Chains A and B, each alone.
Chain A
Amino acid sequence: MATELNSAADQKVTGKEPVIEIGHLKKAFGDNVVLSDFNLKIYEGENVVVMGKSGIGKTILIKCIIGLVKPDGGLLKVFGKDISKLNHQELDDMRTRIGFVFQSSALYDSMTVRQNLEFPLRRHRRKKITGTLDELVREALHNVGLENTIDLMPSELSGGMRKRIGIARSLILKPELVLYDEPTTGLDPITSEEITRLIMDLQQKYKTTAIIITHDTVMAREAANRIVFLWKGIAYKEGTYDELIHDQDSEIKHFFTR
């Protein structure tokens, strides 16, 4: 309840439409109910961190937002448009405005780094781009500090480098909204911190709105305007980092004092 009141108050203050509006979202795989009644509103320029145990449905949540997973019910509006009512072309157009950083980086194994970065530029035929492919690719690589990998294959990159190339690829169309799926998981603390800083710098540079899924409390502290704790299929708790670390709820305490 408190959540909804807060968001309503936010909206009154900013007077803006939310970038993402999720209401009573439901998704189940057979008997496995992943999202039962999930509610969340995200406003322009916000960084919202989603936390929660492994297998709880964080990836499914953001895959619903970009239309990779079809929810069973509920409302899901992105940029003011109901995702479920979009036709194929409209969905593709909307996806050019969203960057998605996959948990497993999802670099195309059969392509070089350059071809990986060119792929979204070539395939989103209707997106207007300024500059040549080569310029855009180099700019994207420069942003993540990996200019010298341009002709390497993904198999020749380390895990951290793959994550960065994945981020570069997701940002190459200059999206307004970026969905990060565990960008620092499996990396050492120093690399994690670098990636956190990278994400925040890019955020500053391109003025994006973001959902960041992470288990990394350092990242949550650094990057989050707001943290949503996903549990039992709902947005169980919502608040700033400081609010959540002092929360008395055992589930949440457990998570932050790990």
Chain B
Amino acid sequence: MTTTRKSDTIFSKAFDEFLSEIAELASFAARFFREGIKPPYEFKEVLNQCYEIGIKSFILVSITAFILGLVLVMQSRPTMVEFGAGSFLPAMSSISIVREIGPLVTALICAGKIGSGISAELGSMKVTEQIDAMEVSGTNPFKYLVATRILATTLMIPVLTVYADCISLIGAFTGSNIKDDVNLTFYINRVFEALHYTDIAPAFIKTFFFGFIIGLVGCTKGYNSKKGTEGVGKAANVSVVVAMVGVIIIDMVVTQITSMLGYL
């Protein structure tokens, strides 16, 4: 403590901010596990939120996933053909899609669309005293608003990811058919030959964590947002950044773990 820091450099300031960010999220997560999973449950509200998430991100996920699958094949095809590996194209694209592109893109889109939406919604509810109003109406707002949303994102991001994987594979199939003539049955067979349990399981499991972090960050930022409309806007903005970084960090950690387990 006695050693005086020369100056609050940009770096140390950023590091402090990073730590306080983690602390804020951790205490909110702890509250979720303490309060959110005790009865009475708000099943109806969870379903409601799942539906909202699905509706809000469905089109965006469809378009992005399709285009990415298409572009992936179109871009890798020349190189693969050059090395005489053109027939590996379905295998390569399906592994890339299922392992990385599908989960990551879905999570990033949802961090932008769903995470910011949650934090703006909760932030404005806080500022306009709607959260207080719930509390005096016999409702625990943490359970009714926060726990339901975190649960909903945790459940829905995996569902959306599976959907995105399928759409992306269709995009890849379309991409293969631009230059070559690929039979659909043949393509599907090659895809399923290439995909193993060890590709699918870790990729699927990590999407639950992606969903959890997106919901957690959105709710934390919204629920703790400062008074005033500026505070709400800022909360939404910060929540997108933090959720995206969180998703990427989780992705890295999961990849490390799967590689250590020998699944890579």
Question: Do A and B come together as binding partners?
Answer: yes
Q: Interface residues, chain A, CB within 8 Å of chain B?
A: 63, 66, 68, 92, 95-96, 98, 100, 102-110, 119-120, 123-125, 127
Please list the 7 inter-chain residue pairs (A to B) with the smallest Cβ-Cβ separation, ordered nearest first. A106-B133, A106-B129, A124-B138, A120-B137, A123-B138, A102-B129, A104-B128
Tell me the residues in window 115-144 of chain B with beta carbons closer than 8 Å to chain A beta carbons: 121, 124-125, 127-130, 132-139
Closest to A99 in B: B136
B contact residues, range: 10 to 19
Out of A68, A104, A105, A125, which one reaches B138, CB within 8 Å? A125
Instruction: Known pairs A68-B136, A120-B137; list 14 more (Cβ under 8 Å).
Output: A68-B132, A68-B135, A102-B129, A104-B128, A106-B129, A106-B132, A108-B130, A108-B134, A109-B124, A109-B128, A109-B130, A123-B138, A124-B137, A124-B138
Q: Interface residues, chain B, CB within 8 Å of chain A?
A: 121, 124-125, 127-130, 132-139
Can you list 11 A-B pairs with a CB-CB distance of less than 8 A? Answer: A96-B138, A100-B133, A102-B132, A103-B129, A106-B132, A106-B133, A107-B130, A108-B130, A109-B124, A109-B130, A124-B137
Q: Give the CA-CA distance A95 to B124 in the complex, in Å.
A: 24
B136 adjacent to A108 (CB under 8 Å): no
Q: Could you say which residues of chain A place their CB within 8 Å of the CB of B124?
A: 109
Q: Give the CA-CA distance A115 to B172 in the complex, in Å.
A: 46
Q: Could you say which residues of chain A place their CB within 8 Å of the CB of B127?
A: 104
Q: Could you say which residues of chain A place their CB within 8 Å of the CB of B132?
A: 63, 68, 102, 106
Q: Give the CA-CA distance A100 to B139 in the complex, in Å.
A: 15
| A-B pairs with beta carbons under 8 A, tally | 49
A92 adjacent to B133 (CB under 8 Å): no
Q: Report the minimum CB–CB distance from A9 to chain B (whole Å).
A: 33
B129 adjacent to A95 (CB under 8 Å): no
B138 adjacent to A106 (CB under 8 Å): no
A109-B124, A109-B125 given as contacts; is B130 within 8 A of A120 (CB)? no
Q: Give the CA-CA distance A107 to B124 in the complex, in Å.
A: 11
Q: Report the minimum CB–CB distance from A137 to chain B (whole Å).
A: 14
Q: Report the minimum CB–CB distance from B172 to chain A (whole Å).
A: 39
B130 adjacent to A106 (CB under 8 Å): yes
Q: Could you say which residues of chain B place their CB within 8 Å of the CB of A125?
A: 138
B138 adjacent to A92 (CB under 8 Å): yes
Q: Report the minimum CB–CB distance from A27 to chain B (whole Å).
A: 16
Q: Give the CA-CA distance A94 to B133 in the complex, in Å.
A: 15
Out of A103, A104, A105, A123, which one reaches B137, CB within 8 Å? A123
Q: Give the CA-CA distance A63 to B130 in the complex, in Å.
A: 14
Q: Give the CA-CA distance A123 to B129 in the complex, in Å.
A: 18
Q: Give the CA-CA distance A108 to B129 in the complex, in Å.
A: 9
Q: Could you say which residues of chain A place their CB within 8 Å of the CB of B139?
A: 119, 123
Q: Give the CA-CA distance A114 to B103 in the complex, in Å.
A: 40
Residue among B121, B134, B136 with the most chain A CB within 10 A?
B136
B138 adjacent to A102 (CB under 8 Å): no
Q: Report the minimum CB–CB distance from A66 to chain B (whole Å).
A: 6
Q: Could you say which residues of chain B place their CB within 8 Å of the CB of A110?
A: 121
Q: Could you say which residues of chain B place their CB within 8 Å of the CB of A103?
A: 129
Q: Could you say which residues of chain A place their CB within 8 Å of the CB of B134?
A: 108, 119, 123
Residue among B127, B130, B135 with the most chain A CB within 10 A?
B130
B133 adjacent to A95 (CB under 8 Å): no
Q: Report the minimum CB–CB distance from A219 to chain B (whole Å).
A: 21
B136 adjacent to A104 (CB under 8 Å): no
Q: Give the CA-CA distance A110 to B127 in the complex, in Å.
A: 15
Q: Could you say which residues of chain B place their CB within 8 Å of the CB of A108?
A: 125, 130, 133-134
Q: Could you say which residues of chain B place their CB within 8 Å of the CB of A123?
A: 134, 137-139
Q: Could you say which residues of chain A place their CB within 8 Å of the CB of B130?
A: 106-109
Q: Could you say which residues of chain B place their CB within 8 Å of the CB of A96?
A: 138
Q: Report the minimum CB–CB distance from A234 to chain B (whole Å).
A: 25
Q: Could you say which residues of chain B place their CB within 8 Å of the CB of A105?
A: 128
Q: Report the minimum CB–CB distance from A181 to chain B (whole Å).
A: 9
Residue among B130, B133, B139 with the most chain A CB within 10 A?
B133
B137 adjacent to A119 (CB under 8 Å): yes
